[in-house]
Amino acid sequence: MHLKQQLTKEDLRKNKPTRDEYLTKAKIPLVVVLDNVTNSYNIGSFIRLADAFSIEKVIICGALTISDKKFKKASRNEAKWVCVEYSDSTTASLQILLDKGYGIYSVELCHGSVDYSEVAYPSPCVLVLGNERKGVSEAALKLSHRHIHIPMFGMGNSLNVATAGAIVLAECANQIRRLPQT
């Protein structure tokens, strides 16, 4: 039986930019907007996802009380590598992005929503993810170009917002990376 050998920190960093290079590296034109997501662990998870996929930024919307301890634990201090903005208004943030030409895609199972994997995501693009209990707000849905969902084949009807975000973000980011660069 052959045991897997653990990769060292040096192995993992081998093909990555230096910390100084990373700060000036162009990010993919993809923004995650968190529409009243309140759980510090979920918000921290999105910070880690933003870093992992090297996206433009995360906008955290709503009146939030974030536990620094939980946030730092979930984000693993990767917030220093990610552009994070705070906004009182999801709709105001989305309107600014619309005016800049971003396509807005809300992750919400609703009438007219389509399978996230059947969508051709534009560049630049915004993914809107909603509150853990209430989902994406009606106001944000009205500003969206499309409503997308993750098909559920089990008995449950939903996933944790960070898990759903990871699934959709991976598809969207990979599609945008494959688009011809202008």
Tens digit of each residue's pLDDT (9 = 90 or more) over 98-142: 999 999 999 999 999 999 999 999 999 999 999 999 999 999 999
CB 161 within 8 A of CB 65: no
φ/ψ region of 62 (left if φ > 0, alpha if ψ in -120 to 50, else beta) reads left
Tens digit of each residue's pLDDT (9 = 90 or more) over 59-80: 999 866 565 565 555 555 666 7
CB 47 within 8 A of CB 79: yes
Torsion over CA of 104, 91, 45 and 30, rounded to 10 degrees?
30
User: pTM, whole model, 2 decimals?
Assistant: 0.88
The CATH number, out of the four listed (3.40.250.10, 3.40.1280.10, 3.60.150.10, 3.30.70.140), of the domain defined by the range 27-178: 3.40.1280.10
